[in-house]
């Protein structure tokens, strides 16, 4: 009887792990799809339009100039995330069935991105007063991040008249393909070579195992260890009693 219970618990744990790993991979892909980094912003927005239609039933029309995709990875990622946030806001607040996304290249190496809809609209002043639940913080974050790279966002909306969000940002320069020289501090770090890994390609899901049964932790570690894109960074016991935490971490 005891062995049967252990086997059943192990099977349930394995099924749960498979589900969690699948969800993590799916979430990673949705937050930063590989096509965005491999094919550029336009390809990423085309993927996003299909994803929004499949997941949320909203039609996204994309009108983009072929030469309007930013070269800099940080600008490309920020614009993609901004469009995604604005589309989520449209789903949650505007009631619109379709959204237009346009991308243009301006003079002085600037990119102009507009997200507009004919939904119920809102009073932009309500954003400053915190009157729009959930949407205000996302727009504030977009504005702050754009300002850090020399860009800005303009909001044009009114109740019953739809919304228009216009983003202007620098095109940026492409990443240098040649290896960059390490700083003196990095070169002198314990006399060891320093390896700078890509934050996207080859990145692993880092997992902290937490369970008060050592056998269960070992079983989970064995199952997860078979996954090539999962890295176990530590184990913790007695997690339900914060005053008695015991944590073992693996240096990275």
Per CATH, domain 30-170 is 3.40.50.2020: no
pLDDT the model gives residue 41: 93
The string of DSSP codes covering 71-91 is: SSHHHHHHHHHHHHHHHHHII
Rg of the chain on CA atoms, in Å: 23
CA trace torsion 243, 246, 250, 252 (10° rounding):
10
User: b/e for 57-79, b at 16 or more Cβ within 10 A?
Assistant: ebebeeebeeebbbbbeebbbbb
Q: Which portions of the chain are predicted below pLDDT 50?
A: 25-29, 129-136, 177-200, 239-247
pLDDT score recorded for residue 86 = 94
In contact, 155 and 163? CB cutoff 8 Å: yes
The whole-number pLDDT of residue 233 equals: 80
pTM to 2 decimals? 0.58
Name the residue ranges covered by the structural domains of the chain: 30-170, 202-252
- Output DSSP code: residue 154: E
What's the confidence (pLDDT) of residue 199?
A: 43
CA nearest to 124, candidates 153, 87, 91, 167: 153
- CA trace torsion 14, 17, 23, 28 (10° rounding): -130
pLDDT at 183: 46
- The Cα-based distances of 36 to 32, 39, 217, 225 in angstroms read 7, 6, 37, 29
Task: Say what the pLDDT of residue 84 is.
Answer: 92
Q: What integer pLDDT is reported at residue 138 of this predicted model?
A: 78
Cα 213 from Cα 232, distance rounded (Å): 17
């Amino acid at each position: 009887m005891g062995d049967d219970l252990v086997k059943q618990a192990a099977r349930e744990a394995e099924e749960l792990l498979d589900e969690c790993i699948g969800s993590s991979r799916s979430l990673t892909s949705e937050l930063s799809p590989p096509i965005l980094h491999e094919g550029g912003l336009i390809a990423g927005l085309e993927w996003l339009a299909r994803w929004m239609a499949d997941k949320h039933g909203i039609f996204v029309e994309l009108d983009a100039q072929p030469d309007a995709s930013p070269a800099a990875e940080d600008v490309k990622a920020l614009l993609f995330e901004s469009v995604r946030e604005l589309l989520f806001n449209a789903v949650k607040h505007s009631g619109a069935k379709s959204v237009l996304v346009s991308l243009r290249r301006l003079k002085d190496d600037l990119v102009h991105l507009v997200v507009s809809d004919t939904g119920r609209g809102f009073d932009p002043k309500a954003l400053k007063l915190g009157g729009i639940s959930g949407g205000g913080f996302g727009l504030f974050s977009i504005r702050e991040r754009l300002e850090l790279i020399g860009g800005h966002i303009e909001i044009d909306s009114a109740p019953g008249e739809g919304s228009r969000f216009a983003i202007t940002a620098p095109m940026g320069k492409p990443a240098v393909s040649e290896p960059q020289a390490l700083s003196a501090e990095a070169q002198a770090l314990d006399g060891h070579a320093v390896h700078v890994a890509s934050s996207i390609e080859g990145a692993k899901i880092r997992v902290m195992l937490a369970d008060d049964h050592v056998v269960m932790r070992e079983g989970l570690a064995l199952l997860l260890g078979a996954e090539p894109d999962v890295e176990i960074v530590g184990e913790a016991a007695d997690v339900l009693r914060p005053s008695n935490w015991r944590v073992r971490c693996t240096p990275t």
